[in-house]
Amino acid sequence: MTTSRKLLVVEDDEGLQRQLRWAYDDYEVVIAGSRDAAIAALRAYDPDVVTLDLGLPPDPDGVTEGFATLDEILRLRPATKVIVASGHGARESARRAIAEGAFDFYQKPVDIDELGMIVRRAFHVADLEAENRRLVEAVNAGAGDVLGGVITAAPEMLKVARMVERVATAQVSVMLLGASGTGKALLARGLHNASGRAGKPFVAVNCAAIPENLLEAELFGYEKGAFTGAVKQQAGKIELAEGGTLFLDQVGDLPVPLQGKLLRFLQERVIERIGGRKSIPVDVRIVCTTHQRLEAMIAAQKFREDLFYRLAEIVVRIPSLAERQGDAVLLAHHFLARFSRENGRDFKGFTPDAIAAISDWSWPGNVRELENRVKRAVIIADSSRLTAGNLDLGRIGSEPPISLKAAREVADKVAIRQALARTENNVSNAAKVLGISRPTLYELIKQYGLETV
């Protein structure tokens, strides 16, 4: 018996109490038959998962006492996964329970196998959320920020993180390739922090944001009187990065004439300020990013091939958010916690339709789009959980009817994606994490059309 996992069963029917206690020999089952007993057990045992019959005394034929119990459980332990019992014809109660923060619901009479699946999934989600909270707390405390606070559980992104850690200590130029919003700047900062240059300057230049006629002066600096308006000597960004890292963001937008001057610096490691004749040696490490297809630009003679090879001694390709299994939901929870704190709001999580929308959205704007949608939703939402409408990922103001089958399918997909991500697509280990057999997991992967490579 695994006694470390505690399941609180709030049920006043003694026969059903015995049945449920016998059904869950993988957990330490705690029984409570009333609201007071349930709250006392919650305080004493701190269970991750609770099954709750809404019909509790002194209102066994109603739901008043059950909803009062749900509210108190979530007030005392917001992370607890509460699964409520719904009798036939009580769909409105189930809807209300989900809206008020319940994790899921089951129908009476109880199907033990069906309820067992919901309970296992609830424990799995509780584990994922606990892991996410630990990661967020570590980042907020300044721990584990070697890669600049990258939040991921996806094998695709973990490989990128390991690659960045390996090349950080090498004296080579690094090019980070990826679509806009994938976290290139975050990884560049993380690479600098993981290198021997961490105590020196990290100087960033956005090559696409500075007008072409000013970019040379920005990079190389100038002497007093070098041009109209040059009223004093000014060191450039390259010089200011001495001993550290020069981060050239969107280097694909660098004008062709300036590419030649940058190439000469990379070859000789000396610069001359505009209007100056003195050669100034500079020791910097170059990290650059672009979302441009540089091979096509080289073919069109818009980017120098020799400069490309100087900048791209090591190339790291960053996957889009859509390619990062399970990370969209993980990051959504991270951003929800962050923006809730910043805005003084208190949310209990996402509704099932929001989780489904987050999982299925293609995220053309990548992590930046997800961050912006969650931030906006935290500001405008007026319910305890964010919906797909709040995230502008569904028809705003319309709640799709909650189907038990649809809700479970959504949760199954999320849980399977997260388990595969955590185990780097090892199906045997993922099955153990999910508490199911390997053939069952293979069947679910096939049924839901999920990728395992």
DSSP state at residue 397:
T
Rg (C-alpha) for the chain, rounded Å, is 28
Distance CA 269, CA 419 (A): 48
The overall average pLDDT reported for the chain is 85
Is the model's pLDDT at 423 over the cut of 90?
no
Q: Per-residue pLDDT tens for 369-390?
A: 999 999 999 999 988 889 888 9
Q: Are residues 306 and 199 in the same domain?
A: yes
CATH at residue 217: 3.40.50.300
Of the residues 269, 296, 318, the one at which a domain ends: 318
Residue with the bigger pLDDT between 34 and 353: it is 34
Secondary structure E strands in 178-301? 202-206, 221-222, 234-235, 245-249, 270-271, 280-281, 285-290
Q: Are residues 312 and 395 in the same domain?
A: no
Q: Are residues 313 and 348 in the same domain?
A: no
Of the residues 115, 137, 152, the one at which a domain ends: 115
Q: Are residues 200 and 303 in the same domain?
A: yes
What local confidence, expressed as pLDDT, does residue 148 receive? Answer: 58
Of the residues 95, 115, 135, the one at which a domain ends: 115
The pairs formed by 372-377 with CB atoms below 8 angstroms and a separation of 24 or more are: 374/332, 374/335, 374/336, 374/339, 375/335, 375/339
Q: Are residues 179 and 312 in the same domain?
A: yes
Q: What are phi and psi of 269, to 5 degrees?
A: 60, 30
Q: Are residues 191 and 270 in the same domain?
A: yes
Q: Are residues 193 and 296 in the same domain?
A: yes
Count of CA atoms in the C-beta half-sphere (13 A) of 91: 5
Q: Are residues 333 and 265 in the same domain?
A: no
Q: What are phi and psi of 53, to 5 degrees?
A: -80, 125
Distance CA 174, CA 172 (A): 6
- From the CB of residue 368, how many other CB atoms can be counted at a distance below 10 Å? 14
Q: Are residues 254 and 338 in the same domain?
A: no
The stretch 353-368 carries a mean pLDDT of 87
Reading the block at residue 315, the tokens are: 């190339």
Q: Are residues 199 and 111 in the same domain?
A: no
Residue 205 lies in a domain: yes
Q: Are residues 50 and 88 in the same domain?
A: yes
What local confidence, expressed as pLDDT, does residue 204 receive? Answer: 95
Of the candidates 174, 235, 176, 245, which has an alpha carbon nearest to the alpha carbon of residue 204? 245
Is the model's pLDDT at 171 over the cut of 80?
yes
CB of 30 closer than 8 Å to CB of 6 = yes
Query: Which amino acid does the sequence have at 108?
Result: K
CATH at residue 59: 3.40.50.2300
What local confidence, expressed as pLDDT, does residue 403 receive? Answer: 55
Domain that holds residue 261: 174-318
Residue 404's pLDDT band (cuts 50, 70, 90): low
Residue 424's pLDDT band (cuts 50, 70, 90): low
Secondary structure E strands in 81-207? 81-86, 104-107, 174-177, 202-206
Q: Are residues 374 and 437 in the same domain?
A: yes
Distance CA 24, CA 14 (A): 16
Domain count, the chain: 3
Distance CA 158, CA 177 (A): 16
What local confidence, expressed as pLDDT, does residue 24 receive? Answer: 81
What local confidence, expressed as pLDDT, does residue 143 receive? Answer: 35
Q: Per-residue pLDDT tens for 218-273?
A: 999 999 988 888 889 999 999 999 999 999 999 999 999 999 999 999 999 999 99
What local confidence, expressed as pLDDT, does residue 17 receive? Answer: 87
CB neighbours of 301 closer than 8 A, spacing ≥ 6? none
What local confidence, expressed as pLDDT, does residue 13 receive? Answer: 87
What local confidence, expressed as pLDDT, does residue 111 receive? Answer: 84
What local confidence, expressed as pLDDT, does residue 451 receive? Answer: 56
What local confidence, expressed as pLDDT, does residue 437 receive? Answer: 82
Residue 62 lies in a domain: yes
Bridge partners (DSSP) of residue 350 are 386
Is the model's pLDDT at 117 over the cut of 90?
no
Residue with the bigger pLDDT between 386 and 422: it is 386
